[in-house]
């Protein structure tokens, strides 16, 4: 079964949310879509992701734990930048 666009989008957004909740990524106070590196070590996101998965909080989003962990691994590096990209752009 292939994933729908909506499902992919939901999974992507959920992965970002887990990373922000864990403190691995930070969301810019000014830009809702400005996401950058947080103060917490990357591994913390796997701890929180596993915890949320075990509690059933990710039900309907990920059908496999491995699927969630792989997506976290794939998505987070894209946002591992020092500052909000929008703020950087505006200050130039």
CB 12 to Zn ion: min, Å: 20
DSSP state letters, 26-45:
EE-SS-TT-EEE-SS-THHH
Of 8, 30, 47, 57, which lies in the binding site for Zn ion, with binding defined by CB under 5 A?
30
Binding span for Zn ion by CB under 5 A among 8-16, 30-38, 41-49, 73-81: 30-38
Q: Does 83 bind Zn ion (CB under 5 A)?
A: no
Q: Does 28 bind Zn ion (CB under 5 A)?
A: yes
- Rounded alpha-carbon distances, angstroms, from residue 32 to 18, 21, 25, 69, 85: 16, 15, 13, 24, 11
Q: Does 84 bind Zn ion (CB under 5 A)?
A: yes
Binding span for Zn ion by CB under 5 A among 3-11, 22-30, 38-46, 67-75: 22-30
Strands (DSSP E) found in 1-92: 25-27, 35-37
Which residues of this chain interact with Zn ion, rule CB under 5 A?
28, 30-31, 34, 84, 86-87
């Amino acid at each position: 079964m292939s994933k729908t666009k909506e499902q992919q989008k939901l999974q992507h957004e959920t992965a970002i949310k887990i990373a922000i909740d864990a403190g691995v990524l930070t969301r810019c106070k000014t830009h809702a879509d400005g996401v950058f590196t947080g103060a917490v070590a990357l591994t913390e996101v796997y701890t929180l992701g596993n915890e949320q998965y075990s509690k059933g909080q990710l039900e309907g989003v990920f059908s496999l734990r491995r699927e969630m962990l792989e997506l976290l691994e794939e998505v987070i590096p894209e946002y591992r930048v020092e500052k909000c990209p929008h703020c950087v752009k505006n200050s130039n």
